[in-house]
Amino acid sequence: MQIRYFTLHSTKYYWSDTAQNFVVFTGLEDLEVTCSTVHSKHSTGLSRNQQEYRRLFFGVNEIAVKVPSVFKLLIKEVLNPFYIFQLFSVILWSADEYYYYAAAIVFMSVVSIATSLYTIKKQYVMLHDMVAAHSIVRVSVIRANNEIEEAMSTDLVPGDVMVIPSNGTIMPCDAVLVSGTCIVNESMLTGESVPVTKTNLPNPRQGGRGSDSDTVYCTEEHKRHTLFCGTNVIQTRFYSGELVKAVVVRTGFSTAKGQLVRSILYPKPTDFKLYRDAYLFLLCLVAVAGIGFIYSIALSIINKVPAKTIIIESLDIITITVPPALPAAMTAGIVYAQRRLKHIGIFCISPQRINICGQLNLVCFDKTGTLTEDGLDLWGIQRVENKSFLLSEENAYRESLVKSQFVACMATCHSLTKIEGQLSGDPLDLKMFEATGWILEEATEEETSLHNRIMPTVVRPPKQLLPEPTVSSQQDMELYELSQSGYEIGIVRQFPFSSALQRMSVVTRTLGEKRMEAFLKGAPEVVASLCKKDTVPEDFAEVLEDYTKQGFRVIALAHRRLESKLTWHKVQNVSRDHIEANMEFLGLIIMQNKLKPETPGVLEDLRRANIRTVMVTGDNMLTAISVARDCGMIPPEDRVIIADALPPKDGQAAKINWRYADNPTKSSGKATRLEEVEISLEDVSQGEEARQSERYHFAMSGKAFAVITEHFQDLLQKLVLHGTVFARMAPDQKTQLVEVLQSVDYFVGMCGDGANDCGALKRAHGGISLSELEASVASPFTSRTPNISCVPNLIREGRAALITSFCVFKFMALYSIIQYISVTLLYSILSNLGDFQFLFIDIAIILLIVFTMSLNPAWKELVPRRPPSGLISGPLLFSVLTQILVCLGFQTMAFLWVRKQSWWEPWTPLSDTRGDFNQTFCLSSQCACNLSSSSNISLELNETELDDHYIKNYENTTLFYVSSFQYLIVAIVFSKGKPFRQPSYKNWPFVLSACSLYAFLFFILFYPISAIDDFLEIVCVPFQWRLTILLIVFVNAVVCILVETLVLDVVLWKLVFSRDKQGSYASGPAAPTAQGSIDLWGCGCVSWPCCRQKRVPKARYMHLAQELSVDPDWPPKPKTTTEAKPPPPSAPPAGQPPPPTRPENGSYRIIAAS
C-alpha cells in the first residue's frame, strides 16, 4: 500500500484521491461520529491490527520538540546575509593587511553568534523540557476482546480506549470520557488553575430518546466531557466498580497541547516596517557604494594603479559604505531594553517585538482579573416571592432562610469539589457557597464504588442555623419532610456550566423527600427564558438593567420539583433540556467585581497618549459597559450604541438593531440633543464641527460579532473603528477581533490574565500576560505585576527601543557615508586612510559610541506623539540627507582649503623637520610645521623613503581630524531624548565616552606627540591650520544642531510630518480631542506651501475616519435597523443610492424601526 504525504510544521498532509487534494487527518473527529456512536462503536477498544493500521496515518503519539544540534543552529545563523557580508569583509581586509579591525569584527561576530546560539538553544531546551515533562507515561489500554494491557502512551492512536487511573495522571492525548467523572486542572491550556469537573459524554440513545438529540461529537462543543492533552487529572470517580474510561480522539501535534506547541515553534512572522525599511536603506547604501566602486576603478585605471590594488581598494569602498558592525549595533538597543523590562518585572521571550510595542496605538484588555479584581464578592441577594422582588438582602447566612429553595440552590448548584480536604472550584461558585455557610461532604473512593451511578456529594447547613422542628413555617413543611436525623441535600446529577448555554443545573434529593428537585443557575436573561412566565417579576428587565449599569455581576437562580416517576437511575440518562424547563424563578445573586486601584490611572495615561483602549470580555454586556464607564474607558458624556445583530431566520435577512445603552426612550434630554444636532446640520462647516463634537462608542456581544463578521463584512471595519466594548466573547472571537483591528492598520496590544486569552495574546503585535502560569509561554511578554500598569511601561520601553534603533541606524549610516566621503576624496589624490586611523575610528569612536548611545532609559511618561514606524519616513530621511550634505560640504571645504594654503606641498618625511635643520628652504612662518620647541623628536633620516600607500599627507590629516569630530557631532545630534527617551546627559556612559573622545582629539590636535602621530599616521600641520580645523569643526557642529533641532524638530515636524496629529486617528473615541484633530491634521498639511490638497492618510483606520466624518448616515441613528441584503446584479434603480462601500459578502440598507 502506497501513501503519499508530506510534513510541514509538524503536520502531515496526505493525498486524497477522493478530494484530489492533500488533507490533514486530525483524529476521530474526521469521521464525524455522533455521541451515541462513540458509545456504541468506539468504546470497546481496537484490535492490534486496527491500531497498527491507524498508526500508519497518525504516527507516534508524541509532541517531539527536537533540539537542533549546535552545528545546525550555527549553519543557520552564519548563513544570515549580514554574517556572509562580514566574512567577505574580513577576507578583504586581511588581503589589505588590515588585520586589527578584521580581528575585532571576527571577535564581535563570534560573541554575537555565540550569544545568539546560546539563547536559541536555551529556548529550545526550555520548550523541550516543558513538553517532555510527563508526556510519555504508561497507560492501561482496553483491547477489542476486553483485555486490559499496559502500553506506552506513544503507542496510542485515535479510537483506543484508555483507563484513567484513580490517582490521576497527566493526559498524553485528547480523549473523551465515556464512563466516570474526572477533576482536571487545565492551567496548561487556559491559564486558570481552577479545577474543572469533567463528566462522561451523554449517550442520547441510552435514555430512550430519538436520534434528534444525537449530535456530532466536537471537542469544542463537548469540552466538558473531553480530557485535553497536557492537563492534569487530579482525581477520578467511578461507580459500581466500573472503570473510568476515555476514547482517544486526537494524538501528537493534533492535540490541544500539540497545537499550542506548534504555535510557539512556528509563530506568525512579525512583519514590521522598520526591518523592511532597514533592508531598503541598506540597498540605497549599496547603490552609493556602487558609485564609489566605479569611481575608484576609473580613477585607478587612469593613474595606472596595479590590478591587485584596484581590486582591493574598489571592494573596500563597499565594506566602508555598508558597515559590518550594523547587526551588533542594532541588537544592542533591544538587549538593553530587554534588560530594563526585566528590571521592572516584565519578561520577554520575543525580543524583536519590543520595537513593535513602541508603535502600539490600540490596546485590548480582558476585564475579569485584568481591569478588575480576580475574585468576586457577594454584594447581596434579591429573592422573588409571588412574582415580585423582595427588598435586597446583604447575605443568605440567616436562620430564616436556611430551608428556603433560594439558599438550597446556592448550596447545591455549583461544581465545587474537595481536593486534599480543601474546597476547590470556580471562584464565583466558591464565594456563593461560602456565603451560605453550609458544609460540603464527598464520599470516599471506597464508598463511590458501592453506589450505583449517582453523584455522591452531600451538602448540609451548620447545626447552629437549623431551627427547632416546631419552628418550621408552613411553606417549608410542605417542601421538606425532615426526619429527626438532620437536614441534608444530596446532589444526584450535575449538568456542568456551559459557556455556550450560559447556565448550569443540578438534580438533588433532600433527605426524607420522595421527589427530586432541579436547581438552575446562570445568566439572568437565559434563566428567565427557561422559567414559567407567571413566576418572573414584571420589572425583571428594569431591576437587572439597574444592577448591570452599576457594574454588578448578576446571577439568576431557578427551581422546580421533578416528576415522581423520575428515579435515581432514570435521572442519570435524562436529557438536560428535559430538566431545564418550566422552572420557577427564585431571584438574583448580585456579585461585585471591584476595579483594581491602578486601572483608572493607567487608562487615563493611555487616553492622554492617544492610545485607544478596548474591552474584550466574556462577561455580560451591560456589566462590561458599566465597568468601561467606571474605569474611564468610556467618558461620562459619550454615547454608547449597542449593535444587536440577529442571524437570518425564517427567510428574513440578517439585521442589526441599533439602540442606546442608556435607554434613549426614557432619557428625553439625550434624544432631544440628538434631534438638535440633526437639525443644525445646515452647512458643511457647521455640520462637521457639530458632528465632531459628538463622541460615540459601539458595544456588541460575541453573538452579534459573529453575525456581523459573517453577514456585514463591509460594516465590520467601520464598527471596530469606534468599538470599545465587546462582551460575551469566546476565545477564538477575541483572536478574530485582534485580526480585524490589524486589518485596518492598527498596531494592537493585548493584555489578559492568561485565561482564554492565549490566542489573542499570540496574535497581537504585543501580547502581555498577567499570569505566570505555563500558558504565558505563548505570550511574547509576561508581567510579574498583576495589574495593567505594565502596559504603559512596555509601550514606553518599546518607544525608547524603537527610537534607539532609529538613532543607531542613522548614526551607522552617517558613519558609513562620512568615511565613504573621506576615502573618496583621498582616492582622488591616490591616498587613503591608514590602518590605525580606520582602527581608531571603527573601534575607539564608533563601537564605543554605538554601545553607549543605546543606554538612554525610556521617558518617564507617555506622550500623544508616536515615533515613526519605519526608516523611510519624511523626518528620518530629511534628517539623514541633510546631515550627509552638511558633512559632505565641510569635508570637501577642508580638503580643498588645505590645498590652497601657502605652506601646502606634497608631503614627504622631511616636511616636518625642514624648519629645524635648513632655514634656507623656507621661512619659519611658511613651513608646514615648526618643531623647534619639540626637542623630544628625534630625526631618523633613514626613513625618508616614501610611504607605499601614500597615507601621510596634509589632506589625510585634515580629513582625519574633521571626520573624527563629525562622528561625535552626529552621534550627539542623533542621540535624542525627550519625548521618548531620557536626555542624553543622564546617560553617563555615553557622556563620559563622548567627552573622553573629544578631550583626546583636542589633545592630539593642539599638543602633538610623535608616538601617537606615528601610530595614527598623521602629519604635523601649522598651529594656524589647527585653529582653522577647530573653526571648521565648530561651524559644522552648529549647522548640524540647527538643522536637526530647529529646522526638523520645530518647523518641518509641525508643518509637514505632524506625526502626533496622525496618531489622533488611532485614539478614536477614547480621547476627547480625537474627532476634532482629524481636520487639524489636514489643516497642518494645507498650511505647508507645497501641499495644495488634503493628503490621503496611509493607515486604513485614518482613511475610514475621514470617510465617516463626512458620512451623514453615520453613526446609525437609534430606532433604526440595518438589514443585510444580497448585492444587486446590476446598477441600482433610479433614485436609490449605491451602497456606502463596496461590499465583500453583501450589502446592507438602513430602515427605520417601527
Helix axes 1077-1087, 684-693, angle to 10 degrees: 130
Closest CA to 587 of 617, 548, 555, 624: 555
CB of 1008 within 8 A of CB of 1020? yes
pLDDT of residue 484 exceeding 50, the answer is no
Most confident among 190-194, 880-884, 998-1002 (mean pLDDT):
998-1002
Q: For residue 40, what are the contacts with CB-CB under 8 A and spacing of at least 6? A: 205
Catalytic residue among 96, 160, 277, 366: 366
DSSP one-letter code for 770? S
CB of 658 within 8 A of CB of 697? no
Give the model confidence (pLDDT) of 1128-1138 as tens digits. Answer: 554 444 444 45
What is the structure's pLDDT at 443? 67
**Separation between Cα atoms, residue 440 and residue 392, nearest integer Å:** 27
Place of cell 447566612: 397
**Separation between Cα atoms, residue 838 and residue 819, nearest integer Å:** 9
Most confident among 739-743, 1114-1118, 1123-1127 (mean pLDDT):
739-743
Closest CA to 392 of 525, 546, 530: 546
CA 347 to chain CA mean position, Å: 13
What is the structure's pLDDT at 76? 77
pLDDT of residue 678 exceeding 60, the answer is no
> Region 450-455: what's the mean pLDDT?
50
CB of 68 within 8 A of CB of 312? no
> Region 852-860: what's the mean pLDDT?
88
Residue 734 carries which side chain, given as an amino acid letter?
Answer: K
pLDDT of residue 941 exceeding 50, the answer is no
Closest CA to 593 of 557, 564, 617: 617
Task: Band the pLDDT of 213: cuts 50, 70, 90.
Answer: low
Give the model confidence (pLDDT) of 557-575 as tens digits. Answer: 999 988 877 777 777 778 8
pLDDT of residue 673 exceeding 80, the answer is no
Q: For residue 288, what are the contacts with CB-CB under 8 A and spacing of at least 6? A: 321, 817, 820
Residue 875 carries which side chain, given as an amino acid letter?
Answer: P
CB of 62 within 8 A of CB of 252? yes
Report the sign of the C-alpha dihedral through residues 312, 315, 321, 323, in that order. negative
Give the model confidence (pLDDT) of 885-899 as tens digits. Answer: 999 999 999 999 988
Average pLDDT in the chain: 76
> Region 946-964: what's the mean pLDDT?
81
Instruction: Express as a percent the part of the chain with pLDDT over 70.
Output: 78
Place of cell 561651524: 1035
pLDDT of residue 366 exceeding 50, the answer is yes
* Helix (H/G/I), strand (E/B), else coil: 143: strand
**Separation between Cα atoms, residue 10 and residue 262, nearest integer Å:** 7
Give the model confidence (pLDDT) of 586-621 as tens digits. Answer: 899 988 878 888 889 999 999 999 999 999 987 777
Give the model confidence (pLDDT) of 1004-1063 as tens digits. Answer: 998 888 888 888 888 888 889 999 999 999 999 999 988 888 777 666 555 554 444 443
Long-range contacts, stretch 871-877, CB < 8 angstroms, 24+ apart: 871/274, 871/277, 871/278, 871/280, 871/281, 871/806, 871/809, 872/277, 872/280, 872/281, 873/1057, 874/1052, 874/1056, 874/1057, 875/1048, 875/1052, 875/1053, 875/1057, 875/1059, 876/806, 876/810
Residue-by-residue DSSP string for 853-876: HTTPPBPSS--S----SSSSSHHH
What is the structure's pLDDT at 947? 53
Higher pLDDT, 693 or 1082: 693
What is the structure's pLDDT at 970? 92
Residue 717 carries which side chain, given as an amino acid letter?
Answer: Q
Whether 366 is a known active-site residue: answer: yes
Instruction: Express as a percent the part of the chain with pLDDT over 90.
Output: 11
> Region 575-588: what's the mean pLDDT?
87
Q: Which of 337-346, 926-935, 1060-1069 bottoms out in mean pLDDT, i.e. has the lowest? A: 1060-1069
What is the structure's pLDDT at 464? 63
Task: Band the pLDDT of 791: cuts 50, 70, 90.
Answer: very high
Helix intervals (H) in 535-596:
540-549, 568-571, 576-579
Higher pLDDT, 45 or 852: 852
pLDDT of residue 702 exceeding 70, the answer is yes
Q: How far is CA 873 from CA 323, 869, 877, in A?
A: 22, 8, 6
Largest CA distance in the chain: 137
Give the model confidence (pLDDT) of 486-544 as tens digits. Answer: 678 888 888 877 666 778 899 888 887 788 889 999 888 889 988 988 888 888 888 88
**Separation between Cα atoms, residue 940 and residue 340, nearest integer Å:** 56
What is the structure's pLDDT at 893? 93
pLDDT of residue 200 exceeding 60, the answer is yes
pLDDT of residue 364 exceeding 90, the answer is yes
Q: Which of 281-295, 1067-1081, 1106-1120 bottoms out in mean pLDDT, i.e. has the lowest? A: 1067-1081
* C-alpha cell, 637: 458624556
What is the structure's pLDDT at 688? 42
pLDDT of residue 680 exceeding 60, the answer is no
Q: Which of 229-233, 851-855, 925-929 bottoms out in mean pLDDT, i.e. has the lowest? A: 925-929
Task: Band the pLDDT of 1150: cuts 50, 70, 90.
Answer: low
pLDDT of residue 829 exceeding 80, the answer is yes
Higher pLDDT, 936 or 346: 346
* Helix (H/G/I), strand (E/B), else coil: 360: coil
What is the structure's pLDDT at 674? 29
Task: Band the pLDDT of 748: cuts 50, 70, 90.
Answer: very high
Q: Which of 15-29, 416-430, 979-993, 1138-1152 bottoms out in mean pLDDT, i.e. has the lowest? A: 1138-1152
On whether the pTM is more than 0.85, the answer is no
What is the structure's pLDDT at 272? 65
> Region 960-989: what's the mean pLDDT?
90
* Beta-bridge partners for 226: 176
* Beta-bridge partners for 555: 589
What is the structure's pLDDT at 925? 41
**Separation between Cα atoms, residue 1043 and residue 880, nearest integer Å:** 11
